[in-house]
Structure 1
């Protein structure tokens, strides 16, 4: 009997992990039962929250098959905390990333806002290797030239190198030859592997993004694997598929929409089970809200953006806004109530978390209005501080000349309008009538706003 129980203890269990900006959720399938655990995220090291959750579920030292949706790569790009990158390209093309496509982001502005170049000019290098449009070599860098380049790159304080030679996808051997000359300590991202297709600017951006997030993901996944040596970890990719952790770090650019992809994949399964294929999904977390439109399949695109950069890697087709349960409310200089995009995060979090935070958030508004009962335990263990939420709402209301109840209602109206606008972007602005679709709300805060959003959109069914 004991041998049977020992075997069951050693049998791998399936666990899904979603790391968000505010909470980390773990869902475990064990002994024909579903178990769930929610812990506060640990932005300084997201693996810490995962380990805490595993301990709560009592599976930290058991063999597990883990599928992990993560925002580590996303946040590295959005917050500008990616690795320092050197960029190598064909002679005459070092300025391509800085020049871009010369598109006017603000059509009527006389002076266009100019963001920083992705790679500093002193970190851009050219080599004489040049291929023609058919892949034939017109010029080939000598070994001495490549050795000198490798020495120059090694002298810089960079963690990664992005290599994007013209027409490289037709003759990848030249990029591979250069990679072999570079120091082993550097993360090397090759355009011929990241995005083997035409258009040197978009290919270069994808290669740079991959180089920027690669070392970050490598360090994170190594820490996670070290903390959970018994776990076989797969990471969710932007297109809704999974990849083993060892390969995930090599192709970090494919993980930039890893977090939202899990919800879209689940919605597609829900459509299959219910037979309701037309869905508008709203994934409302603590920091942001992701909206997608489904017609029976996972919607994919190769024409998205992240932090203003073109993202031509296959990914779920979503629209993201900075509105979530932790979105902070404030009054601007003109006396207007604003909500988001700044978030209170997990630490100290909203006022109602009782962790020293003073910011009024959407979660505080839901608590003040009784939509979240005062005795609610977030994740089954974390009590909410209703008096702290009321005090913070009273302070905000004083700036507006409103009582705390009116202020809380105003916060929710503004937040709901933001989300309704996002739903219209994915439906009305693409020629779809929202009334023909079911509203599917998920994420930690989605259910609290489902009814108002359905009413604003004229939708008849909520799943």
Structure 2
């Protein structure tokens, strides 16, 4: 990686910055020295882009759904982007700051099969881009994309804005083997594949919401990636999420997030302090030392030191535990009781995360963390004027699409032709270069002033 980044920087010139897993950018030299910081840089860019989109649209509490060809990444943002320092990737612990992202092997290329017990299984194996889904004309394994095509949710002549034709007959022919394995029709087998992959993603969202004390019904689902908008409404319906916010360009939202990421520098020191050892002067000295180190590095990078904002955190745990929770560091000035303030922060975080907090058990501070952020200029999009509710001018036809209740005549829209205020009612398919948006029956929505599509369900939750 060091060799690659060195070559890239020579080609592009100085100033190259690399996305890191915590949602901010770092210098190419730091990324080369500490490549572990970039492990989830791509998915992190997606969360940053989705959170920016949600904030711009007036929905700061979001759940992100990044569904691509191989996997789906989900993250919960309760008015902020959540981070962790205790992640596990590929079975290995990774103790660097990163956005809390949960990944599941569910994507458009996830392979469907019937196991030895006769059950339908989808993923985590993927057909990838090569050979890809059967409908690409090269592979012979049925995937989620083939199921969507069989159900009419993908247009054979509308993929990639019409630049690529999908082979629906090939997908349906190969679907016969899956259907025979579960004793169902081709259509029911395709519906089953969609239900299974949706169930896999639903469990992932539950793991980052309900299992951590958050009610998904209080959030807005933001789908992106090439496949996210195809599954978002059905997923939201199963989880009771009341609305779905589809960005104007879901397929490149991760790139947007990388482009607008702030400059971020993280520092940490291990202190291992228990109750009686917690001392404001000691902690202030440690933080001051990190801040001095940061200031020197920022000056070397020719960054405006005075424009940076500093945030202090501490890693706390019960004595004897092997994992910590990161909480805000209480003020180190004034006469407040430091031990009591830290305990209060930790107990609240433990209650939120695990549903209980034992105030009788001793706690200890393991690490001190300093985060410096330099905001970068972000695109300030001018809201488009209201153009009316009628979306008929963007309708390009109709087709039969199979939903849970059977086949339905479904309106096709060119999303690029929709304007601010235009209203859409399901069933509908919205076609664009980087994705297809599936609007099931019972869902309706409108285009907001920034080109996002806000969808809501008429079903009570």
TM-score (ref. length: structure 2): 0.51
Q: Which runs of 5+ in 2 are unaligned?
A: 246-461
Contact 1:325/1:362, CA 8 A, preserved across alignment: yes
Name the counterpart of 1:395: 177
Q: Tell whether 2:239 aligns with 1:457.
A: yes
Contact 1:353/1:384, CA 8 A, preserved across alignment: yes
Structure 1 residue 395: deviation in Å?
Answer: 2.1
Q: Which runs of 4+ in 1 moved over 3 A?
A: 219-226, 228-233
Q: Tell whether 2:205 aligns with 1:412.
A: no
From 47, 53, 61, give the equivalent of 1:264: 47
Please give the per-residue CA displacement for 1:353-398, whole angstroms capped at 9, x wherever unaligned: 11x2111111110011000011123366332121221112122212
Instruction: Give the whole-Å Cα distance in 1 for the aligned partners of 2:6 and 2:160.
Output: 30
Query: Do the aligned partners of residues 272 and 387 (structure 1) sit closer, same or farther apart at CA in structure 2, a change above 3 Å counting?
Result: same
Q: Tell whether 2:183 aligns with 1:439.
A: no
Structure 1 residue 459: deviation in Å?
Answer: 1.1
Alignment of 1:299-378 (within 5 A): 299-354=82-137, 356-378=138-160
Contact 1:321/1:422, CA 8 A, preserved across alignment: yes
Q: Secondary structure of 1:423's partner?
A: helix
Name the counterpart of 2:263: none
Q: Secondary structure of 2:128's partner?
A: coil
Name the counterpart of 1:218: 2
> What count of residue pairs does the alignment treat as equivalent?
245
Q: Secondary structure of 1:329's partner?
A: strand
Alignment of 1:241-320 (within 5 A): 241-320=24-103
Name the counterpart of 1:62: none
Instruction: Give the whole-Å Cα distance in 1 for the aligned partners of 2:17 and 2:171.
Output: 39
Please give the per-residue CA displacement for 1:245-303, whole angstroms capped at 9, x wherever unaligned: 34322110000111110111012212321221111111111111111110222111101
Instruction: Give the whole-Å Cα distance in 1 for the aligned partners of 2:129 and 2:54.
Output: 32
Instruction: Give the whole-Å Cα distance in 1 for the aligned partners of 2:214 and 2:52.
Output: 22
Instruction: Give the whole-Å Cα distance in 2 for the aligned partners of 1:320 and 1:348.
Output: 23
Higher RCO (Cα < 8 Å, 6 or more apart): 2
Q: Secondary structure of 2:34's partner?
A: helix
Q: Secondary structure of 1:439's partner?
A: strand
Structure 1 residue 224: deviation in Å?
Answer: 5.1
Q: Secondary structure of 1:320's partner?
A: strand
Contact 2:141/2:174, CA 8 A, preserved across alignment: yes
Contact 2:67/2:108, CA 8 A, preserved across alignment: yes
Query: Do the aligned partners of residues 263 and 229 (structure 1) sit closer, same or farther apart at CA in structure 2, a change above 3 Å counting?
Result: closer
Q: Secondary structure of 1:313's partner?
A: coil
Higher mean displacement: 313-322 or 246-255: 246-255
Contact 2:157/2:164, CA 8 A, preserved across alignment: no
Contact 2:220/2:244, CA 8 A, preserved across alignment: yes
From 17, 20, 24, give the equivalent of 1:237: 20
RMSD: 1.8
Structure 1 residue 434: deviation in Å?
Answer: 1.0
Query: Do the aligned partners of residues 222 and 402 (structure 1) sit closer, same or farther apart at CA in structure 2, a change above 3 Å counting?
Result: farther
Alignment of 1:40-189 (within 5 A): none
Contact 1:435/1:458, CA 8 A, preserved across alignment: yes
Contact 1:271/1:296, CA 8 A, preserved across alignment: no
Instruction: Give the whole-Å Cα distance in 2 for the aligned partners of 1:389 and 1:252.
Output: 41
Structure 1 residue 339: deviation in Å?
Answer: 0.3
Instruction: Give the whole-Å Cα distance in 1 for the aligned partners of 2:243 and 2:12.
Output: 45
Higher strand share: 2
Contact 2:61/2:219, CA 8 A, preserved across alignment: yes
Please give the per-residue CA displacement for 1:37-91, whole angstroms capped at 9, x wherever unaligned: xxxxxxxxxxxxxxxxxxxxxxxxxxxxxxxxxxxxxxxxxxxxxxxxxxxxxxx
Instruction: Give the whole-Å Cα distance in 2 for the aligned partners of 1:394 and 1:224.
Output: 48
Query: Do the aligned partners of residues 230 and 382 (structure 1) sit closer, same or farther apart at CA in structure 2, a change above 3 Å counting?
Result: farther
Q: Secondary structure of 2:244's partner?
A: coil
